[in-house]
Amino acid sequence: MAIFVGLLVLVALISYKTFSSFRLRRHNAEQAALRGCQEPAKAPRKGFLGTGMLVESIRATRQEWGPVWMHQTLNSIGETIHTVKASVADYDLIITRDTENIKAMFATQSQDFDIGTHRENAFKSLLGLGVMTTRQERWKHSRALVRPQFARDNLADLDLFQRHLDALLQRIPRTEDGWTAKVDLSPLFFNFTLDTGSEFLFGQSVNSQTPEKTPAMWEANAPDLRNFGHHLDAAKHMIDRRGALTKYGWLLRDSTFPKHCKAVQDCVDWFVKNRLERGADDEKVIETPSGKPKFVLLDQLAKDTSDPLELRCELLNILHASRDTTASLMGWSFYFLARYPDVFKTLREEIIDNFTANPEAEITFNKLWACQYLQYVVKETIRVVGIVPMNERAATCDTTLPRGGGADGLSPVFVPKGTQVLIPTYSMQHREDIWGPDVDEYKPERWQDRKFGWDFIPFGGGVRQCLGQQFARTETMYVLARVLQIFDQIENMEGPGPIKMHHTIENRSGTGVQVRLHLASTESNFCREQPTSELKLGRALGLGADRPMVAPPTTPAAYCRDEERQYEPKLDDLGLGVDRPEEVMVV
């Protein structure tokens, strides 16, 4: 009897599912016809229930070429096809790298699109509900809370960067011949941005580069601040793995994940509690060496809300958005400088012309942003690697995208409510029809006089545009400027091999940034003298100093420069603001 009832329920369920899916398909077909839409090209359906593409994409990500795989897969469907529909099991999604569609989702039809539920679901255990993770009315509330803080002029604090850069440089051991030991700069940048980010957000740095500076009273009263970075990385690793499975991410379980999330949250709660105990008006005005009051985001947010959970979530959302992205950008910048000596030379000349070779000479925000070649290097680095190589939106109602349907790809495409639309920014930034036949070359000069709009959206665009792009670019440019004052040569210490893109949410070099640097002045005390035991210490610090020296540097074939190019700087690129109308693209 029980079996009979069970079977009956199963048949009823299957019938209901079949009927609803039939009704939905008919509804979608009617709506598409009414709106003059045509079907886009289809990605080949491979493997069991069409999961082949998903498996391929996960494999490519593991092999550290995920963004390139996506680009090649789209090109294999058609180099002139920029919008496709892909199906995995019962799940249809659209992938588009068409600039008209991007503009529609971010600007002209932005009311019909928002981030999907995946971002919120994937991140909420760690970050809670904040500006990165929420949608609709809840997101408007968060954005209204944090945006005014980012709309200030010159938000980035150069003194803050300098203090933590000093600590970073002390991590690099020098040898007797004026060169540093071989060093992997990548982990150093991740610690650096954790330290600058935590100080910017909480008012006090977690000092991941200099744990010995942690105040003694913290040791007694605080949660596990020393391992803040470790817990953050471990929790994010799990989120990345879940994210790769899109809607099926919940299938992955890891018993340590909640512990890491809790450890991170405990640390932030501790900062928030200390701040709230002082009362909203008790803002300690600390003057930085440049005479500017120190900006602390927590102080500012505490004026608007005293809800500890809300404060924790917003701060963590921003820390997540800022730390790894900016560290990746710094790492990649040096990765390419080590492979393009002529770019390094041109950039260094510009830095010395503007700021002298004295690494203690003042660098101001305005002068930094006036360095054109420096900006080109940063933009080209972002273009070539796509720091956030994939963005996404989901339709909040039945709607359309203006292009991609029909044989010529020029008809609108119907997008049913709930459909996820992937935006492969890396692929957009490698479209030959937009960037020219030298698209795969690393060539900062291409940015001279280049106007761009919806074809270059590394910081998103429209109402949900990144709030920290000015901060990230200032921090990266500052580090580049100072390091190039101190060092006059950089050498790639990695063996030959293809570029590896370790794509989690952001994209960092999968082989690290293995270099050695030459001090411009032998008097310089910017690095530590290297005792004989230093190689072992280097390993403990994750510097890679003990790794075997490898073959002389080679340039990855895809990024060969075929000729010397002349460059003349032009001053046209100082507009930064998140204050501009949201539709204007400013990068």
Nearer to ligand HEM, 142 or 411 (CB): 142
Q: Look at the alpha carbons of 450, 456, 457, 458 in this order and tell me if their dihedral is positive or negative.
A: negative
CA angle 280, 285, 288 (to 5 degrees): 145
Minimum Å gap between C-beta 427 and ligand HEM is: 14
Q: Which residue has the tokens 């000729």?
A: 563
**How far apart are alpha carbons 151 and 577 in whole angstroms?**
7
Nearer to ligand HEM, 77 or 115 (CB): 115
Tokens for 150, please give them: 């980012």
Minimum Å gap between C-beta 108 and ligand HEM is: 15
Of 304-312, 457-465, 479-487, 540-548, the window that binds ligand HEM (rule: CB under 6 A) is 457-465
Judged by CB under 6 A, does residue 468 bind ligand HEM? yes
- Listed in sequence order, the DSSP H helices in 130-184 are 136-150, 158-170
Judged by CB under 6 A, does residue 467 bind ligand HEM? yes
Minimum Å gap between C-beta 467 and ligand HEM is: 4
Q: Are strands 83-88 and 41-42 parallel, antiparallel or unpaired?
A: parallel
Among 185, 387, 422, 541, binds ligand HEM (CB under 6 A): 387
Among 99, 265, 325, 399, binds ligand HEM (CB under 6 A): 325
Over the range 356-389, which residues count as b (16 or more CB within 10 Å of their CB) and which as e? eeebeeebebeebbebbbbbbbbbbbbbbbbbbb
Please count the other Cβ atoms lying within 10 Å of the Cβ belonging to residue 38. 17
User: Could you give the string, one character per residue 303-322, with x where binding to ligand HEM holds by CB under 6 A and - elsewhere?
Assistant: ---------------x--xx
Minimum Å gap between C-beta 14 and ligand HEM is: 38
Return the bridge partners of 502, or none: 508
Tokens for 243, please give them: 């994210």
The type of residue at 36 is: G
Judged by CB under 6 A, does residue 464 bind ligand HEM? yes
Residues 121 to 150 in contact with ligand HEM, rule: CB under 6 A: 131-132, 143
CA-closest candidate to residue 395, choices 119, 114, 120, 28: 114
Among 265, 381, 391, 419, binds ligand HEM (CB under 6 A): 391
Tokens for 16, please give them: 């209901």
**How far apart are alpha carbons 333 and 327 in whole angstroms?**
10
**How far apart are alpha carbons 481 and 1 in whole angstroms?**
78
Among 458, 512, 538, 544, binds ligand HEM (CB under 6 A): 458
Cβ 225 vs Cβ 218: under 8 Å: yes
Among 160, 466, 477, 541, binds ligand HEM (CB under 6 A): 466
Number of residues that bind ligand HEM (CB under 6 A): 22
Judged by CB under 6 A, does residue 405 bind ligand HEM? no
* 515 three-class SS: strand
Nearer to ligand HEM, 153 or 281 (CB): 153
Minimum Å gap between C-beta 473 and ligand HEM is: 7
Judged by CB under 6 A, does residue 459 bind ligand HEM? yes
Nearer to ligand HEM, 143 or 547 (CB): 143
Positions in the binding site for ligand HEM (CB under 6 A): 115, 131-132, 143, 318, 321-322, 325-326, 329, 387-388, 391, 458-460, 464, 466-468, 471-472
